[in-house]
Amino acid sequence: MKFKRGLVKRKMAKIIDGKTISLDIKNEVKQIAENLVEKGVKPCLAVILVGQNPASQVYVRNKKTACEYCGIKSLSYELDESISEKELLDLIDKLNENKECNGILVQLPLPKHIDENKVLLRISPEKDVDGFHPYNVGLLSIGKAELKACTPAGCIELIKRSGVDISGKNCVVVGRSNIVGKPVSMLLLAENGTVTICHSKTKDIKAVCKEADILVAAVGIPNFIKGDMVKEGVVVIDVGINRLENGKLCGDVDFEEVEKKASYITPVPGGVGPMTIAMLMKNCIVACKNQNNI
Ligand code: NDP
């Protein structure tokens, strides 16, 4: 290819397309679900929504649509905001007992009068398709998890399905939340990455990020990772979903700057976002197979 004098060939990262990869995963799930139905088992997910949080309503609707696509039955419980903690716990007990139901998902956040932790602990670990129960978190930390937290597991799929080998790589995770930073760090470690976790008290975060072969950003601050914080060839997974004042979505990574140096990068939207539901569907299948000894 010829370039005009004065023009420099710009290096561009390969964009990791979360929409396509998540669709591949949902199609794989659909195939397995069909095989299970042939064996007389219909995978089934119970989705519980308390109150009328508009964002939660959208998430729940998307989860039900994904179930339909994948051939997973969904049981829907849309409960009034005023429901008591006891009533919610009783419903979870009933679903724990219900042999037809393989997975239980309680959409967060819950109203303030309900103790989220108590609710998540009540879900039977084998039906914990969000992977938030301490039992499953413990399994994750010893490298034996079957039901892995969905967004972190989605990050690993994005990396692996892009053909990037994690083994031996310097992996830097920015963020240490229980739902993203910590579990994604454990999963990278399980893939033999050399993992460093950064957080708000980390000194010289730029120096740490510059060492990364693989960088996962889960900070919740728009455009936090700048071009001068990464090295050439880095693989960047941007978990952040931030709504800007103009209504647009943006990640934790300054895409325009970082894309010029990265070898692979996820966009926002269309990167990690669609993976969460795909991995939830995968977890439903894992739970269903385990419960039926298949
Ligand atoms: P949290 O707010 O729970 O955690 C943010 C983490 O970032 C904390 O560990 C915090 O450190 C760290 N942090 C904050 N400020 C800084 C700083 N200045 N320097 C270094 N570290 C800092 O967020 P989540 O993990 O829940 O989510 C992170 C992002 O991912 C959000 O944008 C969220 O919307 C998105 N997300 C996307 C999902 C998806 O499906 N794609 C799913 C879940 C989340 P400390 O612990 O010290 O406070």
Model confidence at 87: pLDDT above 60:
yes
Choose the final residue of a domain: 124, 157, 179.
124
Asked if residue 140 is part of any domain, the answer here is: no
Ligand 1 atom nearest residue 275's Cα: 40
Cβ proximity of 85 and 111 under 8 Å: no
- Residue having the nearest C-alpha atom to atom 5 of ligand 1: 219
Residue 79: give its domain's CATH number.
3.40.50.10860
Average of pLDDT values for 108-119?
Answer: 97
Instruction: Mark whether 195 and 250 lie in a shared domain.
Output: yes
- 205 three-class SS: helix
Based on the fold, state whether residues 219 and 185 are members of the same structural domain: yes
| Domain-located, residue 233 | yes
Does the CB atom of residue 220 touch ligand 1 within 6 A? yes
Tell me the CA–centroid distance for residue 219 and ligand 1, in Å.
Answer: 3
- For 118-143, the pLDDT digits (tens) are 999 999 999 999 999 999 999 999 99
Are 49 and 155 in the same domain? no
91, 108, 124: which is the final residue of a domain?
A: 124
The model's pLDDT over 90-106, given as tens digits with 9 standing for 90+, comes to 999 999 999 999 999 99
pLDDT tens profile 18-53: 999 999 999 999 999 999 999 999 999 999 999 999
8 A C-beta contact, residue 175 and residue 181: yes
Backbone angles phi, psi at 51, to 5 degrees: 85, -165
Residues 158, 252, single domain; the answer is yes
User: At which of 124, 140, 160 does a domain end?
Assistant: 124
Residue 46 located in a structural domain = yes
Written in H, E and C, the secondary structure of 137-195 is: HHHHHCCCCCCCCHHHHHHHHHHHHCCCCCCCCEEEEECCCCCCHHHHHHHHHHCCCEE
Residue 278 lies in a domain: no
Does residue 230 sit in the same domain as residue 164? yes
Domain count, the chain: 2
216 DSSP β-pair partners: 173, 237
Task: Tell me: do 173 and 252 sit in the same domain.
Answer: yes
pLDDT value for 8: 59
pLDDT tens-digit readout, 50-81: 999 999 999 999 999 999 999 999 999 999 99
Inside any domain, residue 159: yes
pLDDT at 10 over 70: no
CATH number, domain with residue 190: 3.40.50.720
Give a yes or no: residue 191 inside a domain.
Answer: yes
The verdict on the CB of residue 91 being under 6 Å from ligand 1 is no
Give the residue numbers spanning the domain of 46: 40-124
User: Quick one: pLDDT at residue 6?
Assistant: 59
Same domain, yes or no: 118 and 154:
no
Q: 281 lies in a domain?
A: no
Report if residue 12 sits inside a domain. no
Residues 119 and 157 in one domain: no
Say yes or no: CB of residue 223 within 6 Å of ligand 1: no
In this structure, the answer to whether residues 118 and 203 fall within a common structural domain is no
Whether 124 lines ligand 1, by a CB cut-off of 6 Å, is no
Output the CA–CA distances (angstroms, integers) from residue 108 to 57, 89, 104, 117, 250, in the order listed: 11, 15, 13, 11, 22
List residues with catalytic annotation. Answer: 63, 107, 130
Identify whether residues 159 and 204 lie together within a single domain. Answer: yes
Q: Shortest CA distance to 213 belongs to which of 255, 174, 262, 258?
A: 262
- The pTM assigned to this predicted structure is 0.95
In this structure, the answer to whether residues 49 and 120 fall within a common structural domain is yes
Tell me, yes or no, whether 119 and 217 share the same domain: no
Taking the CA of residue 176 as reference, the ligand 1 atom at the shortest distance is 9
